[in-house]
A and B are shown apart, each in its own frame.
Chain A
Amino acid sequence: MLKYSLKRLLQSLITVFIVITLVFLLMRLLPEEGYFGDGYDKLTPEQRENILRKFGLLDPWYVQLKNFYSSLLKGDLGKSIIYRPDVPVIDIIKLKIPYSMTFGLAAIAVSLLFGLSMGIHTARNKGRFWDKIWSGYVVFINAVPAAVYLLFIQLYITGLKYKGRSIFPMLFNRHNPRSWILPLISMSLGGIAGYALWMRRYMVDQLNQDYIRLARAKGMSEKQIMVKHVMRNAFVPMAQYLPASILLTISGSIYIESLYSIPGMGGLLVDVIQRQDNVMVQALVLIYSSLGIWGLFLGDLLMAIFDPRIRLEKKEGAR
């Protein structure tokens, strides 16, 4: 287990290193405008050169790379240029991350709770009435563009009134818990469908396995078989992607956050790309890609904890 973890850790570190380097080098290919802010047209060539020198952009690329790494090790992601001039990137996202992560984590919790129970329920009642209803839901969520039903939820559900007042406010307000509900539901719909779909699929796979037949012949009740044999086995393949989705809640949801005016991370990356704030783009791409890699790393560890075949991979040759 230790060897396996160390191996994966090393692989992840190398991947992160490669990704960071690549991102940095690609950023050097972007037009220079992104470093000057709004007044680009009014600057003389000398002023432009001064600014570029200030950023260290006139050094050879390997010096730039070295400087970039040393500031990165100090936890310095640079300062925003256009989005909010001269404010450190960290300070900008520090305010936004809590919104995105809180909603994201809550949505994952809700999705897991409802998605897994739905998957388990449909797998146990395969082909019956509720299976068809829930499958319909899954197909609907996957087939209809999210924008359509999300917009409907906002338009029509906020229209519901109780004693003349809307039950659910149209916009997010930190101090009004009722305004948290619709964004949370909107964010969970897709997750519920996803987890239900895969849980059902993996459970049905498991139920057809020979060892389930043996467990039944052993005299275990369906309930015991579900708890001891089916559910855990079915969850293993899903566990792999859980850490990545948890970590990436940091990026927020573009569409839902803008629908309800939640001041989260959603859309920030698109925004800074459009406004050519090179430093911000660089910092965000770095954060998202390394979180993705660490998520997969944790997923691999989680898999190994659940599945002995992975953790004992090299130890014994016996099949």
Chain B
Amino acid sequence: MTEPILSVRDLVVKFSLRGQILTAIRGASLDLYPGETLAIVGESGSGKSVFTKTWIGMLDANGWVDSGSILFEGKDLAKFTREREWLTIRGKKIAMVFQDPMTALNPLRTVGMQIQEALELHQDMRGEQAKARTIEILSEVGIDIPEVRYHQYPHEFSGGMRQRVVIAIAVACNPRILICDEPTTALDVTIQAQILELIRDLQRKMGATLVYITHDLGVVANVADRVAVMYAGEIIEYGTVDEIFFDPRHPYTWALLSSLPQLGIKGQPLYSIAGTPPNLFTDIQGDAFAPRNPNALKIDSVRRPPFFQVSPTHYAKTWLLDPRAPKVEPPETIRALRSKYERYAQ
């Protein structure tokens, strides 16, 4: 495989909350390859957003990178402290699209100006030239009569249109990596599909690397090349979409996929994962998922598993992959998926 564009190693992020220390990211590692679309999935609070926010230095004021490295273009972003350093990355090289388009735009400035700001910052355009390019971008993201829309305010746009404007801002930055933090969660289903399509088109045009943060596995299957599964601040499994969907190895990934309504069997209650995610204020021993895992091994509660290779592109952090481990079969729904995949692969 080619050289990664961004490489995160053993990242630890902590927050100070009411005098207590919370460890939100517990040694996450990830490589991102140029031009690919990676989806990061996991339940709420697993640290998906926090993880990517460290790449542009936008942790909340009470959070900090404790250890680990984020290598990007020969620099370690984890070592950045000053605003001046971040301004060379933020927007310019790595941009982000946020979840809620309804509140993401300044209500008192015209839509055109908010896009143009990014052009002026990153593409060194001024005045008429910047305006012309803004109008061009507006039409690229599928907004009709952009000359008129340029002068309008956010409240004159619908939710889907506003998300297009937010995406237009990201396009105006022309970043190498675009992080989409649940870009469609706040939109209704028909608009969702349009926005996903739009992002995919623009990615092709810009040649950017795309990172989706989502807990919608349907979106993942649609857009991603590779998937990374996060649990309790760790990447616990990653691989290509096919590998994760049809040959998952980590018990948490099994559980996550089993709880997909689409895979449920009619008449049977929908699968849900027992228990709750671990308390991140405490020091977690061993495999964080062990307390919720019916097949947990003894070692799971003692020592944290390393990454085991399943294939050159597929890794999982579970002791089940250790040669000495007993053979544990994935749940039935997952086996069904696998046999479906084998048929499909032939």
Interface residues of A (CB under 8 A from B): 209-211, 213-222, 228-229, 232-233, 236, 306-309, 312, 316, 318-319
Contact = CB atoms under 8 A, between A and B. Distances in A.
B191 to A, nearest CB: 14
Nearest to A230: B106
Interface of B: 56, 58, 83, 87, 90-92, 95-96, 98, 100, 103-109, 117-118, 121-122, 153, 155-158, 166, 169, 173
Given A316-B156, A318-B157, A218 B169 contact: yes
Contacts of A220: 91, 117, 121
B106 A219 contact: no
A219 B122 contact: yes
A301 B100 CA distance: 31
A211 B153 contact: no
A308 B155 CA distance: 9
A58 B98 CA distance: 74
B301 to A, nearest CB: 39
Contacts of B155: 308-309, 312, 318-319
B91 A218 contact: yes
Contact of A218 (B95, B109, B153): B95
The 7 closest A-B pairs by CB, nearest first: A219-B91, A210-B103, A308-B153, A219-B90, A211-B106, A217-B96, A218-B91
18 contacts: A210-B100, A211-B105, A215-B117, A217-B58, A217-B98, A218-B173, A219-B91, A219-B92, A219-B118, A219-B173, A220-B91, A228-B109, A229-B109, A233-B108, A236-B108, A312-B153, A312-B155, A318-B158
Contacts of B121: 218-220
Contacts of B91: 217-220
A221 B158 contact: no
Contacts of A216: 58, 90
Contacts of B106: 211, 215, 229, 233
Contact of B95 (A215, A217, A309): A217
A210 B90 contact: no
A215 B120 CA distance: 13
A214 B166 contact: yes
B117 to A, nearest CB: 6
Nearest to B179: A217
Given A217-B58, A218-B169, A211 B87 contact: no
Contacts of B118: 218-219
B173 A232 contact: no
A128 to B, nearest CB: 11
Contacts of A222: 83
A7 B121 CA distance: 42
A309 B153 contact: yes
A214 B101 CA distance: 10
B18 to A, nearest CB: 14
A222 B90 CA distance: 12
Contacts of B87: 219, 221
Nearest to A306: B108
Contacts of B90: 216-219
Given A213-B98, A217-B90, A219-B91, A232 B108 contact: yes
Nearest to B154: A211
A209 B103 CA distance: 7
Contacts of A221: 83, 87
Given A218-B169, A228-B117, A309-B107, 17 more contacts: A210-B98, A211-B107, A213-B98, A213-B104, A214-B98, A216-B58, A217-B58, A219-B87, A219-B95, A219-B173, A222-B83, A233-B106, A236-B108, A306-B108, A307-B108, A312-B153, A319-B158
